[in-house]
Every structure is written in structure tokens, then in C-alpha cells.
Amino acid sequence: MRRATRCSSRGSDGGFTLLETLVAMVVLSALGIGVWAAVTVSTQSITRSRASGRAAVQVLQIDDRLRACVSRVRAPWWFPAPAIEGSDGSWQLPYLDGDPGKSLAISWKEAVLSIDDGATLSRYPGFTSARLTPALDADGKPYGVELALEGRYVGRVSIVARFGSVELRDRSGS
């Protein structure tokens, strides 16, 4: 008769050794750290992209508002061109709607650009600097204004807006 012999070999138990388990944990931890880093970078990239998009939309809103307001600045025909009054972040453009008593106010204070036409005050936050200067033609005559802005997400932007047409008055009295 044959006897059944049992082999008591550890290799045939079907389990993992402590060393194999530790190596697997190190590999999985390294993969997890890599995935976590990728998710963090992606989240930061999305946040920056959204902020840049919002800033670009804001610049378009400023462009639209500034052009609409400055086109309403109309000096009388005998006046050479409206001059920018003020400095250091606060500027006035006289002859709004052709009226010498009304003016367009543009200011930059505490990182907020404001455009006020007397009826509506528009405020645009988030700019590190703003400067308003006359826009000059080839002969050196002003035809409008140039607003130079600088912000964290938009960089440097320049908006040029033209004054409205010069009012012509009928001298015949009719």
C-alpha cells in the first residue's frame, strides 16, 4: 500500500509574502501620488483658465462701455477738441452730449476702474494700473482717448475710443 505523503511547502499555500505585499503597496502609493499631482495641476489650470476668461469678458465690457461713452463727447465746432482734465487716476472729458456742463468721468482707484456718464456708474475691479491719454492722429491732433489697462489675468491692454462727430451749427439762424 502506498502512503500519501504531504508536502508542507510554503510556496504552495497560494498567499503573498510580506515582502511582495510591501512592494505592491509602494507601487500603488507611487501611482496614487502621480494621479493626485495630475488632478491638482489640472484643477489649478482650470482655475487660471476661468479667471482669464472672466478677465477677457470684462475687458470687452469696458471696451464697449468706453467707446459708447466717449462717442458721446462732442465739442462745438469752434473748439479744437475736448481735453482730458485731471490726472493721477481721475479724469474728466467735458462736452458729454455736446453740453459744456456735462462730463464723462473715468477713474481708477484701489484696483477698480469706474466709468460714469452721469446716468450710469460702471465699476470694473481687478486692474493693477490704468492710464488715460489722448489718442492722436498723424498730425498730432486728438481724435479720442486711449485707455491703457494692466491686470493679472489680461496683461496689458489698450483701448482706443473716438470722440463723437463735431456738431455743425446752422449760422443762417433757421
Residue 154 inside a domain? The answer is yes
Taking only Cα atoms into account, the Rg of the chain, rounded to an integer number of angstroms, comes to: 34
Q: Identify the residue whose cell numbers are 489649478.
A: 44
pLDDT tens for the chain, residues 1 to 174: 566 555 555 555 678 899 989 999 999 999 999 999 999 999 999 988 898 899 889 999 999 999 999 999 988 777 767 778 887 889 999 889 888 889 999 999 999 999 999 999 999 998 999 999 998 888 888 888 999 999 888 889 999 999 886 544 444 444
Residue 167 inside a domain? The answer is no
Residue 24 inside a domain? The answer is no
Residue 91 inside a domain? The answer is yes
Distance CA 109, CA 79 (A): 31
Residue 77 inside a domain? The answer is yes
Residue 2 inside a domain? The answer is no
Residue 21 inside a domain? The answer is no
pLDDT tens digits for range 61-93? 999 999 999 999 988 777 767 778 887 889 999
Residue 67 inside a domain? The answer is yes
Q: Domain tally for the chain? A: 1
DSSP, collapsed to helix, strand or coil, labels residue 157 as strand
Q: Is 140 left (phi over 0), alpha (psi -120 to 50) or beta?
A: left
| Assigned C-alpha cell, 122 | 460702471
Asked whether the beta carbons of 66 and 149 are under 8 A apart, the reply is no
Q: Identify the residue whose cell numbers are 489640472.
A: 42
Identify the domain containing residue 64 by its residue range. 50-162
